[in-house]
């Protein structure tokens, strides 16, 4: 037969002087709410000098011990656990453990909420700092690349021709069809829009000039660079990032080899060769696409189209476009390789830095192209 439990109580015995606080019954989770109500009634009726009688204390668990700590405080409970007569060893040990746990507990402070404007300024500041740090890292990485190239120039035995040719095939030859198709379609669209707008003014013939200027100076190199930023920079980052995750780059350093010389320089040289060639392909394809639309919609024969192109478009426009290609190629390859070296070792990091390399490459290409266009316009080129 189960022994019935006696609800705990905390009563102030005022029949004696000084009054004594008598703790009795079971201080367990079952009687928690009843005991909590009694504690509220005892508020301001006792202090640290009030005598306490724990002789009739029955069962005690962690909930009851925490209420005793709430009633007397951590320091007084520690004193009672050590000196109170008639207290069982298990109750004494439990009171001491709860007292230590609650005395070490510190309720976390809620951080004050910041205003929306301050949060916006903080995010802008962090973004600016990130851009600045990435710029410094890129400049330092470019310095390492140029140093490695200059050191290896007088030593032909260290040139990795096979690796360069392999990367030229991957970045140049394999990308030629998509570049040609894309620029052909863009040339057709530009010619169609030019013909539609210029026809209103009776100047449809100037569609040829529009095509020549746009593709030789801007569209040819810009579209090709953006394609290479999405295709080649991401590939470079994924390749080097995977090697970083598999600790292959650490193995290269252990063997006394330079990762810059072995992995970066061949990719840089390959894109330096491929991008100008692809830019030329893009220029030709775009002009051919425009010529097709002119022949179909404007009755401008290919012979007349070429004659107008030769008469009105100077060679300097071709040079302005083609000379931007090596600069874009160097920056795209550098950013792609640098982001690969930043990979921390997980597949998630490889994906994040691959995305970052594409975004950074496209951003740098568009900004530099805009700056070059403004400079050439001011110089009259």
Residues sharing a CB contact under 8 Å with residue 239, sequence separation 6 or more, in sequence order: 340
Asked whether the beta carbons of 328 and 225 are under 8 A apart, the reply is yes
Mean pLDDT of 184-192: 91
Q: What is the pTM of this model?
A: 0.68
From-to residues of CATH 3.30.750 in the chain:
9-104
Indicate the average pLDDT of the chain. Answer: 83
CATH class of 9-104: alpha beta
Q: Write the pLDDT tens digit of every residue in 151-176.
A: 888 888 888 888 899 889 888 888 89
Dist. CA 239–CA 252, nearest whole Å: 15
Could you give the angle at the alpha carbon of 376 between the alpha carbons of 375 and 381, nearest 5°?
155
Q: Which residue has the higher pLDDT, 27 or 104?
A: 27
Per-residue confidence (pLDDT) for residue 97, from 0 to 100: 78
Mean pLDDT of 357-362: 90
Per-residue confidence (pLDDT) for residue 328, from 0 to 100: 93
Q: Which residue has the higher pLDDT, 66 or 139?
A: 139
Which residue from 308, 282, 313 is spatially nearest to 204, judged by alpha carbons? 308
Q: Write the pLDDT tens digit of every residue in 79-124.
A: 777 777 767 777 778 777 777 777 665 555 667 777 788 888 989 9
Give the pairing of strands 52-60 and 20-27. Answer: parallel
Per-residue confidence (pLDDT) for residue 349, from 0 to 100: 81
Mean pLDDT of 141-147: 90
Q: Write the pLDDT tens digit of every residue in 196-225.
A: 887 777 777 888 888 888 888 888 999 999
Q: Write the pLDDT tens digit of every residue in 3-18.
A: 455 777 777 777 777 7
Mean pLDDT of 132-148: 90
Asked whether the beta carbons of 197 and 302 are under 8 A apart, the reply is no
Q: Around Cβ 93, how many Cβ atoms within 10 Å?
A: 11
Least confident of 41-45, 173-177, 288-292, 326-330: 41-45
Mean pLDDT of 66-73: 76
Per-residue confidence (pLDDT) for residue 2, from 0 to 100: 45
pLDDT at 248 over 50: yes
């Amino acid at each position: 037969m189960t022994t019935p439990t006696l609800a705990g109580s905390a009563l102030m015995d005022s029949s004696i002087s000084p009054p004594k606080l008598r703790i009795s019954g079971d201080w367990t989770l079952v009687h928690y709410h009843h005991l909590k109500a009694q504690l509220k009634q005892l508020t301001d009726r006792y202090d640290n000098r009030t005598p306490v009688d724990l002789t009739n204390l029955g069962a005690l668990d962690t909930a009851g011990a925490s209420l005793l700590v709430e009633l007397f405080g951590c320091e007084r409970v520690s004193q009672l656990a050590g000196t109170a007569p008639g207290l069982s060893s298990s109750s004494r040990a439990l009171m001491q453990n709860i007292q230590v746990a609650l005395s070490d507990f510190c309720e976390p402070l809620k951080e004050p909420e910041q205003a929306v404007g301050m949060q916006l300024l903080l995010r802008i500041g962090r973004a600016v700092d990130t851009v600045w740090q990435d710029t410094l890292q890129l400049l330092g990485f470019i310095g390492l690349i140029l140093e490695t190239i200059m050191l290896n120039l007088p030593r032909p035995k260290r040139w990795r021709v096979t690796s360069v040719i392999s990367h030229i095939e991957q970045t140049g030859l394999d990308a030629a069809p998509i570049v040609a198709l894309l620029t052909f379609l863009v040339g057709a669209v530009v010619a169609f829009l030019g013909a539609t707008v210029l026809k209103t003014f009776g100047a449809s013939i100037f569609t040829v000039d529009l095509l020549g200027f746009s593709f030789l100076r801007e569209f040819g190199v810009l579209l090709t660079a953006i394609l290479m930023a999405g295709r080649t920079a991401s590939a470079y980052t994924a390749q080097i990032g995977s090697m970083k995750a598999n600790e292959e780059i650490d193995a290269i350093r252990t063997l006394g080899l330079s990762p810059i010389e072995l992995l970066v320089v061949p990719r840089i040289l390959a894109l330096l060769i491929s991008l100008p060639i692809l830019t030329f392909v893009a220029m030709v394809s775009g002009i051919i696409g425009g010529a097709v639309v002119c022949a179909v919609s404007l009755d401008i024969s290919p012979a007349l189209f070429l004659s107008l192109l030769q008469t009105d478009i100077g060679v300097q426009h071709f040079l302005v476009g083609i000379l931007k290609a090596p600069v874009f190629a160097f920056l795209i390859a550098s950013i792609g390789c640098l982001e690969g070296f930043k990979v921390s070792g997980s597949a998630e990091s490889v994906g994040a830095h691959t995305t970052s390399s594409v975004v950074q490459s496209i951003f740098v290409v568009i900004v530099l192209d805009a700056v070059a266009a403004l400079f050439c316009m001011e110089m009259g080129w």
